[in-house]
A and B are shown apart, each in its own frame.
Chain A
Amino acid sequence: MAPPTSSFVARWWVAVDPIEEILEAGKRRADEAEVWLATGSSVAAMLRKRKISSATGSDHQTLSIRVIKGGRIGVSSTDDPSSWEECLGAALRSAALAAPQEWEGLPASSEKTDGFVNFDESAVPDPEQVRDLVSGMEEGADRHPVEIISGNAQISQYRVVLANTHGLYCEDRESMVSMGLETIRDQSTGYEYEASWKMDIDPVSVGERAAFLAATSHGGKDIPTGTYDVVLSPDALGQLMGATFLPALSGRNVHAGRSRLAPLLGQEVCDPALSLIDDPMHPRGLGSCLWDGEGTPTGVLTLVERGVLRCFAYDLKTAYQFGKETTGNAVRSGMGGGVTIGFHCMTLDGPRGEIGGEDALWVHDVIGAHTANPLTGDFSVELANAYLCRGGNPEYPVRKAMLSGNVFDMLRDIRGLSREEKVVGCCVLPSIRLKNQKIIGI
C-alpha cells in the first residue's frame, strides 16, 4: 500500500461537528430534527490517449438538516456546515410549505449501527495509487491492437454521521475505487469500467476488456431484422432495469399511481426462476450499509421471490403516509439533500449456468436505455459491442442494430443467468439470456 499523502487524506477534522448544537436548536423550533453530515476527499486522474492530462483532488462537505413539525417535513442542505443556522431556518421554512401527513417519529437509537461494511483502509485517496491504476489499465489495453481514447481512475473516502433528536447517532465510513477506459479501433469503440469499495479491482483486466471490445467489434456486419435469442451483459441489463423495473418497485411510485406493478402484489411478475433481492450486506455492494439514510436498520428485502411480487420498498415518509412499514430503503439522494426511496444492493437470483451454448446475439452494451418508457417498460435501444454467436462461439461482430422490447415482458420468460456477476451502480447482476427478442437490422 502506498503511504497516504497528507493533503488528500480525508480531513475528518475539517468541520467541527456542530451536530449536537443543531439538534438542540432544531428541537426548540420543531417536533423532531435530524442531521446528516458527510465529509470526505477524493483523488482522480484523467487519461487522454496515453498520457495523464489532469489530476484532481477534492474536499467535500455536505450538511443536510431535516425537521418535522406537525407532520410537515422540511429539509435543507449546505456545502458550508458552519452556516448551519441558515440551513436550519431554510428547513423550517420548507416544512411550513409541505403538506402535513401522518407521522410517527424518526427512529430511536439502535444497536445495529456500529461498524463499517464498505470501508477499506487501504483505499487511500493518494495520487500515486491513482496513477498506478491508470498505468494498469494502459498495460491491459496493450494486449489488443487499439488506441486509447480516454480513461479515469478515482479513489475516495467519506465519513457520514447521522443523528436525530431521539438519540440516534450513527457513524459510517465508506471508500470507493472506480476506473474506466475507452478505446477505439478505426470506428469500433469499447468501454469498460469497474467500481468497488475496496482495492480489489485489477486495472489490467479492465484495460484488457475495454481493448478487447473495440478490437473484436472491428469489421462488423449487418444482420437481418428478426427475432433472436439475446444475451444481455450485466451492464446492458442494469441500464434497462434501472430505467423501468426498479422504479416500479418504489413504494412512492406505487402509491402515487406511477407503477405498473402496483396491482400485482402476490402475483407472478417475472419468470418463476427469478428472484429480485435487495441485500444491504452484499459483500460487493457499493451501497452496502447497516442502517439506511434515516437510521432504520437495514435487512434483506425479497421484492420478487421465484417470480412472485412479494413487496415494495419504503422509507419512513411513504410508509407513514400510506400505512405501511419502512423497509429501510431510504437513501440520501432526494431533493434538497433529503431522503428518497432507493436500493442498497439489488441482486437478481436464479439458476446459474452456461448461457452461451447455443445461437444467440450477445450484447455487451446499449445506447439510450434511459429513453425507455419508465411506466410501460417499452424500449428501443441501439446495440454496442454486439456479437452474433453460433454454437456458443462468436461468429462475427454486429455493425449496427436496434433491440426493441419491453423490460417487464422480457423478464417473464428467460433462458438462464450466468455464473459471473458484475457491480453495476446499485446492483450486482449476472448476464441474462432472453428468448425471441426483436432486432431491427437491415
Chain B
Amino acid sequence: MEGVRYFDIRHVRGEVSHIDIENTRVESAGTTFLDRAIIRVLGPKGWGFLAVDHFERPRGRKFDELLGKAAALGSLTGEEVVLADAPAGMLPVPHRKVDPLDIDLEEKGRVLLEIERAARLPAIASTRAGYTEKYEDVRFEDSCGNEYSYSLVRSGYSILAVAERSGDMQIGSKRQHAIQDFPLYHRQEDGETAARRAIALLDARRARGGIMNAVLDPELAGVFAHEAVGHASEADLVQEGGSVLGGKAGERIGSGIVTIVDDPALPEFGFEPVDAEGSRVERTTLVEDGVLSSYLHSRETVPAVGFGHPGNARAMPGEPPQVRMSNTYIAEGTSTPEELIEECRDGFLLCGSRGGQVDPGRGVFQFNAEYGYLIERGECGGMVRDVSLSGEILATLHNISLCAKERKMHPGYCGKGGQTVPVSDGAPHVLVRGAVVGGRGPD
C-alpha cells in the first residue's frame, strides 16, 4: 500500500480470572474477557498506531482502510524510523505442568483458602489472599509475511497477613507466580510464613539510616539488577538520551565480579516465545565482568543506538511494544552468604522487596526491603523493619564486592510508560559497600 513501509498486527484474546479472599470470606471471584489489538504502520517517517477493542481482521479494501487510518496518524510524526532485520522464529511454549485451565475456580478458591487459613495465627488481625490467572491467545502478522500464534497461561497468588499489637501493625507477605503451571498446591506453609514474619516485625527495630555496608538477599539483589541496571540498559531510553549508561558501550561500569543477564528464553515468569514485533528471543549479557556489553533492543532501536540485537520488544494486549526486560539476573559468584555477612562486618542484611523505582537519566535508584537484620561484627543480629536502599547506579556497581554462589529467581511485574508486563528478577546474595540505607530509627 502506498505510503506504508511496514505494518504488523498483534491481537490478543483471552480470559482473566481472579479470586479475592479476605479474612476467610470469598469477597470476589470470577472471569473477565479480553479482546484487544494493536495495528502498527510505518509511514514515510514514524509510526501510526491503532488500538482497537474487539478486533476482527478485515480483508481487501477494508483492510487497506484500516492501514490508511494508522498511516494518517503516522503522518504526524517527524522521526525517521528504520527497522533492523531480525531473525524470526518462535520458541516452543513450555508444556503445562499442571494446567490451571483444567482446574475449576471453586477448586482454586478452596486451595487458596487453605493457604489463607494457615496465616490466621493468634496475633494476626487480618489476612488476605488473592489469585490471578491470565490466559492469552496471541496472534501476530506483519507485512513481511511473518505470522505466529501461541497461547500462554500465567498465574499467581499472594498471601498477606497483618499482625497487630497495642496499635502497632505490621505486614508479612508471600507471593508466587508461574507460567504454564498452577502454583497453589502444597503452599500452605506460605500462609504461616507470612504470618510469622508479620508477628516478628512487631518486635523489630527501626533501622537507623546512613551510609554503610549492606548484604542484599537474592530477591532484593534481583530488584537492584532490574531497577538499577536493566532499565538503564533499555535502548529506547539510551536513544532518547535518558540513560546514564548511554555512550558507555564496552566501558567498565562496575566491579569485575558483576555479570548481569536478561534472558526471555528462560522458562521463568518473564518468558516470551517470540517478542511483540516477531523477533526471535535470546539471552543478552548486559554487563560481563563489570564491562557494559550490550543494550536491550527492539527492531527500531538497533539502527538508532547499536550495541545489541532485537528481541526485547514486549507489550500489554492492545498496546504498542516497548523495549522491556524479561528474566533479569546477576550471575553467581563463588562465596557463601555466611562469608558475605562476615565480610560485611557492620551493616544490614536486607531481605525481600516492597518494590523500587529508578531515574535512569540521573542514574539514581531506590528500593525498599520487606525486612532486614542488623549485622554487627560479622554476625547477623536482630530484625529491623522499614529499611530501604538508594544509590547511584555506577557508584553502586563498583561497590559490589562479593556475590554468593546460589542464585534464585523471583517473579513479579514491571511498569513502564503505562504498561505492566510480567518479569522475573534474580541474583545470589550480594555485598554492597558504602550503600545509602534509609530508615528513621533513632540516631
Nearest CB to that of A60 among chain B residues?
B53
Asked if B334 CB lies within 8 Å of chain A CBs, one says no
A378 touches B30 (CB 8 A): no
A368 touches B356 (CB 8 A): yes
Interface string of A249-265 (1 = CB under 8 A from B): 00000001110100100
B368 CB contact (under 8 Å) in A81, A335, A337, A380: A380
Q: Which residues of A contact B34 (CB under 8 A)?
A: 79
Tell which of B78, B170, B320, B392 has the most Cβ of chain A within 10 Å.
Answer: B78
Asked if A80 CB lies within 8 Å of chain B CBs, one says yes
CB contact under 8 A between A55 and B74, given known A79-B34, A258-B162, A378-B440? yes
A336 touches B32 (CB 8 A): yes
A positions within 8 Å CB-CB of B: 7, 43, 45, 48-49, 51-62, 73-83, 86-87, 90-91, 93-94, 97-99, 127, 130-131, 147, 149-150, 182, 184, 187-189, 225, 256-258, 260, 263, 334-338, 367-368, 370-376, 378-382, 384, 400, 402, 404-406, 438, 440, 442
Nearest CB to that of A49 among chain B residues?
B240
Q: Which residues of A contact B440 (CB under 8 A)?
A: 378, 380, 404-406, 438
Asked if B420 CB lies within 8 Å of chain A CBs, one says no
A149 touches B33 (CB 8 A): no
Smallest Cβ distance from B231 to chain A, in angstroms? 12
Bound-state Cα–Cα, A32 to B269, Å: 40
Within 8 A of A (CB), among B145-180: 162, 164, 167-171
Nearest CB to that of A260 among chain B residues?
B169
Smallest Cβ distance from B171 to chain A, in angstroms? 6
CB contact under 8 A between A382 and B390, given known A90-B32, A184-B361? yes
Nearest CB to that of A405 among chain B residues?
B440
Smallest Cβ distance from A366 to chain B, in angstroms? 8
Asked if B424 CB lies within 8 Å of chain A CBs, one says no
Interface string of B30-73 (1 = CB under 8 A from A): 11111110000000001111111110000000000000011011
Smallest Cβ distance from B71 to chain A, in angstroms? 10
Asked if B282 CB lies within 8 Å of chain A CBs, one says no
Bound-state Cα–Cα, A19 to B78, Å: 44
A-B contact pairs, 21 of them (CB 8 A): A7-B69, A53-B47, A73-B28, A75-B28, A77-B32, A78-B32, A80-B33, A94-B28, A99-B25, A99-B26, A149-B242, A335-B30, A367-B366, A371-B354, A371-B356, A376-B170, A380-B386, A380-B388, A380-B390, A384-B364, A405-B440
Nearest CB to that of A402 among chain B residues?
B438
Smallest Cβ distance from A377 to chain B, in angstroms? 10
Q: Which residues of A contact B171 (CB under 8 A)?
A: 373-375
A78 touches B77 (CB 8 A): no
Interface segment out of the listed B16-24, B307-315, B425-433: B16-24
B46 touches A368 (CB 8 A): no
Asked if B359 CB lies within 8 Å of chain A CBs, one says yes
Asked if B283 CB lies within 8 Å of chain A CBs, one says no
B18 CB contact (under 8 Å) in A336, A367, A376, A406: A336
CB contact under 8 A between A56 and B50, given known A49-B240, A367-B359, A400-B364? yes
Within 8 A of A (CB), among B64-106: 69-70, 72-74, 76-79, 81, 105-106
B170 touches A93 (CB 8 A): no
CB contact under 8 A between A75 and B30, given known A49-B241, A80-B35, A80-B53? yes
The count of chain B contact residues (Cβ–Cβ below 8 Å) is 86
Q: Which residues of B contact A335 (CB under 8 A)?
A: 18, 20, 28, 30
B26 touches A380 (CB 8 A): no
B48 touches A97 (CB 8 A): no
Taking A184-B242, A257-B125, A373-B171 as known contacts, 11 extra A-B pairs with beta carbons closer than 8 A to each other, sorted by chain A number, are A48-B240, A52-B46, A52-B78, A56-B51, A57-B51, A60-B53, A79-B54, A99-B26, A225-B210, A335-B28, A367-B357
Smallest Cβ distance from B307 to chain A, in angstroms? 18
CB contact under 8 A between A404 and B47, given known A57-B69, A368-B388? no
Bound-state Cα–Cα, A130 to B76, Å: 10
CB contact under 8 A between A90 and B78, given known A59-B52, A225-B210? no
Asked if B367 CB lies within 8 Å of chain A CBs, one says yes
Nearest CB to that of A97 among chain B residues?
B29
Asked if B252 CB lies within 8 Å of chain A CBs, one says no
Bound-state Cα–Cα, A367 to B81, Å: 32
Nearest CB to that of B415 among chain A residues?
A370
CB contact under 8 A between A52 and B77, given known A375-B169, A378-B206? yes
Bound-state Cα–Cα, A12 to B115, Å: 46
Q: Which residues of B contact A263 (CB under 8 A)?
A: 167
Bound-state Cα–Cα, A375 to B202, Å: 12
A55 touches B49 (CB 8 A): yes
Smallest Cβ distance from A97 to chain B, in angstroms? 4
Q: Which residues of A contact B241 (CB under 8 A)?
A: 49, 147, 149, 184
Smallest Cβ distance from B388 to chain A, in angstroms? 4
Bound-state Cα–Cα, A132 to B50, Å: 20
B109 CB contact (under 8 Å) in A43, A59, A79, A97: A97
Asked if B378 CB lies within 8 Å of chain A CBs, one says no
Bound-state Cα–Cα, A256 to B116, Å: 14
B30 touches A97 (CB 8 A): yes
Asked if B412 CB lies within 8 Å of chain A CBs, one says no
Bound-state Cα–Cα, A90 to B32, Å: 8
Q: Which residues of B contact A86 (CB under 8 A)?
A: 33
Q: Which residues of B contact A77 (CB under 8 A)?
A: 32-33
Q: Which residues of B contact A62 (CB under 8 A)?
A: 53
B239 touches A48 (CB 8 A): yes
Bound-state Cα–Cα, A55 to B39, Å: 12
Bound-state Cα–Cα, A189 to B51, Å: 31
B126 CB contact (under 8 Å) in A45, A182, A256, A438: A256
Asked if B333 CB lies within 8 Å of chain A CBs, one says no
Nearest CB to that of B242 among chain A residues?
A149
Smallest Cβ distance from B318 to chain A, in angstroms? 8
Smallest Cβ distance from B211 to chain A, in angstroms? 7
Bound-state Cα–Cα, A311 to B425, Å: 42
Nearest CB to that of A217 among chain B residues?
B362
Q: Which residues of A contact B387 (CB under 8 A)?
A: 380
CB contact under 8 A between A55 and B357, given known A150-B242, A258-B126? no
A371 touches B355 (CB 8 A): yes
CB contact under 8 A between A127 and B32, given known A56-B49, A382-B366? no
Q: Which residues of A contact B361 (CB under 8 A)?
A: 149, 182, 184, 187, 189
- Nearest 3 CB-CB pairs, A to B? A380-B438, A94-B30, A257-B126
Bound-state Cα–Cα, A85 to B123, Å: 46
